[in-house]
Amino acid sequence: MKTLVKKVNRENINKDVIKHGAELIKKGELVAFPTETVYGLGASGLNGRACEKIFKTKNRPADNPLILHISSIDMLYTLVGEVREDAKKLMHLWPGPLTMVFKKSKLIPDIVTAGGDTVAIRFPEDRIAHELIKEANIPIAAPSANISGRPSPTNAEDVYYDLEGKIPLIIDGGPSNIGIESTVIDMSEEIPTILRPGFYTYEYIREILPHVILDDALVDDKKIPKSPGQKYRHYAPKAQMKIFVGFEASDRIYDIANEQKNLGKKVGILTFEDKIDRFKDFYTISFGQKSDLRYMSHILFTALRQMDREGVDIILAEGVNEKNLGKSIMNRMKKSASGNIEYL
């Protein structure tokens, strides 16, 4: 299969590309497209066979449900059962990087929900994503457009690297703005529960819903996640990765980097701008200023993929405190490193 890559300017959207993508979706094919979080691999969310292609193409575990993307609130009410008042309070964050879980309607194929009775819904803010869903006029099931387990793609180049020859079309809208996936909140029960942290943090959501809680697995790494997809190894580079958090993180990274270099290993360093000069003898990517977690979230997955392209043997990364957006970033980093983290 030949994979076409078609560029689209968000400020002046090429309707022909959108129509082409929508026609493919309606025919049961897969289309990769940008969202404000990461690139998604889209299929008709009401077509079980099309959704099955997502699982096969990504090598995605069958018990990991898909998120359905909508282009209007009206579309939501055809897909779910009860919409609680708490969910309505969060709807002012739509369109945006927020996914809510509801009891599903009978319209939705079991493969989308991994046989469960709930469905995850997101209303993306990205103009290209919005226009594609609107043109297709069906909810689009879309996990990240990568091979399962790899870092999520935040640009079309990374999608092409993973899926070239496997899908007919990649819509290239340039880099994703946010860079990590949406916040996922279970709204199907009486107590709203954050299953996956994202751009909208626990602290922010709590200002709207004071009774919101975190899934046990986000508080204790040894707990089994309520969200099936959170139990799998995610976002992993090819190289071994280790994270260091604390005032002495830079010193520890420096010592281990030199040890590994002396063993003949190619070392990659992920650290902050004020420490870059210290690691000039290694392949280093900056997370920017430590005070700017928005930039860190934007660059994280891109940096991991760049480390892969550079062929490093080991990645040593400086982490951050798990507060506000830092919790979302560390959720991804710890999964990237398979929990290999050292607090100093």
Report the pLDDT averaged over residues 272-280. 95
CA distance to 90, 157, 286, 316, per residue, from 283 (Å): 42, 21, 10, 11
State yes or no: cis peptide before 95, omega within 30 of 0: yes
pLDDT band at 219 (very low <50, low <70, confident <90, very high): confident
Is the CATH number of domain 4-229 3.40.1010.10? no
pLDDT band at 217 (very low <50, low <70, confident <90, very high): confident
Q: Does residue 231 surpass a pLDDT of 80? A: no
Nearest alpha carbon to residue 154 among 25, 303, 272: 303
Q: Does residue 228 surpass a pLDDT of 80? A: no
Give the β-pairing of 169-172 and 4-7. parallel
Domain limits, the chain: 4-229, 240-343
Report the pLDDT averaged over residues 162-178. 98
Is the CATH number of domain 240-343 3.40.50.11030? yes
**pTM (2 d.p.):** 0.95
- CA 166 to CA 189: how far, in whole Å? 38
Residue 177 neighbours by CB under 8 Å, 6+ apart: 36, 126, 298
Q: pLDDT tens digit string along 20-58? A: 999 999 999 999 999 999 999 999 999 999 999 999 999
pLDDT band at 147 (very low <50, low <70, confident <90, very high): very high
